[in-house]
Each structure stands twice: as C-alpha cells, then as structure tokens.
Amino acid sequence: MRSWGSREDTVVVDEPLYAHYLKTTGRAHPGRDEVIAQYETDWRTVVKHLTGPIPEGASIYYQKHMAHHLLPEMDVDWVLDLRNAFLIRDPREMLTSLVEFLPEPMLSDTGLPQQWRLFQRLQNEYDVNPPVIVARDVLRAPRDVLSALCDVLDVPFRDSMLSWAPGPREADGIWAKHWYDSVYDSTGFQPYEPKDEPLPDRLHDLHDECRPLYDKLYAHRLRP
C-alpha cells in the first residue's frame, strides 16, 4: 500500500471491508469497536464505492484487501471487474508474525483458503493466471518484482514506488495504531531477513494446513 500510495496517479484505500468483517464475525481484533463505529459495515455499500468511478484526480484506484475479509456469505462477482493481484508470505513467517496480534489464529485468519478460492475463480473466468507475488521476492528485488507486476497489470512502473516518507497517511485505517508501527518507520522496502524464531508448538497443525495452499499459489508466482 505504501508503494502504490507513493504514485502521483494513484489513490489507495486501506482494507475497506474490515468493519463488515469485524461486525459479522465478532472477532476480538485490536480496536474492534472503534473500527465498527467509524466505518461502513454493510459490504454491499462498500462494494458500490469500490466498483464505482475512480476517485477524482487519479487514474489508478489501489485497493488493499485482506482475503479473510471475504466472508463465505458474500457475493464476490464484483471482484471480477477489478484487476487482481495476490501477495503471499511463507506460512511459518506469516504465522510467527500473526500471533503477535492474534494469539490463537485459525486457518481462515490467514486468508490462504480465501486467496486460493479467489485465484481459481479468476483463473476459470479469464483463462489466465492472475499475478501472484511473494513477499520475500519483493524484498529481495523490489524494482524487478514491481516492474513485472505493473507490466502484467498494464500500468507503467514508477520509481516513486520504491521509497516513501515515514509516518502515517490520511488513507491509513484507524487500526494503523495497532498494526502499522513498522510501516510508520519504513521509508522503502527493507532487505529480506529470514525470521529465525521457532513456530510455537500449538501452531504446527495450522502450519500444516497452510502449507499446501501456499504452495499452490506459489507455483504461479510472478518471476521477473
């Protein structure tokens, strides 16, 4: 989101379905009540904005979504009208980060089953693989990976996508104060450093559920 938000031709929106997700599921996320009070909780109303005209002054409308916000009862046909790209992260590294905020995550919290279902839907609809980028690859070669992604999405790459000023943004959700400390400190993509901490024993089974879903998406990763 920081990368795309640094483009002069782009407007970004931060997890627009989060309030609906929290209200519907009752999940105890940090700042839950504040998010529900401030943002639209009807997913249909949100989708009207997401699929409407591009906000004034921009030619690209970048929507940062979390796949687990796409709940089973939601119609996802609207997603077909957008250009979609998937960002994935190795399950072990993802889970060791996730438990810092959600001590007892479930498979649905990882977004991986939702990503795979959506990937297949898009694949079947358009008979082409939507782009998948791997977090590790982005950190190792941000220019190459983002240039390749822009090519697939048919938008020009901009050098401004590689760096940005630290601190908050107006587009950040109010949940940023709970989740975005490292984002606020960042000024660009930091070099990749493997997470060395061991996976807690209680997450081994969850990791084993995540791995095959990740591997299916990883097989379609964008290779610059």
Q: Each residue of 68-110: pLDDT tens digit?
A: 999 999 999 999 999 999 999 999 999 999 998 899 999 999 9
What mean pLDDT do residues 31-49 have? 97
What is the set of domains in the chain, with CATH numbers?
Answer: 2-218 (3.40.50)
106-148 tens-digit pLDDT: 999 999 999 999 999 999 999 999 999 999 999 999 999 999 9
Residue 224 has pLDDT above 80, yes or no: no
* SS3 state of residue 97: helix
Look at residue 101 in the predicted model and tell me its pLDDT.
87
pTM for the predicted model, two decimal places: 0.94
List phi, psi (to 5°) of 188.
Answer: 170, -170
Burial 104-120 (b: 16+ CB within 10 A, else e): ebeeebbbbebbbebbe
What is the C-alpha to C-alpha distance for residues 57 and 84, in angstroms, rounded to an integer? 22
Q: How many whole angstroms separate alpha carbon 205 and alpha carbon 224?
A: 33
pLDDT of 162 > 90? The answer is yes
pLDDT value at residue 42: 98
Q: What is the mean pLDDT of the chain?
A: 96
Q: Is the pLDDT of residue 195 over 90?
A: no
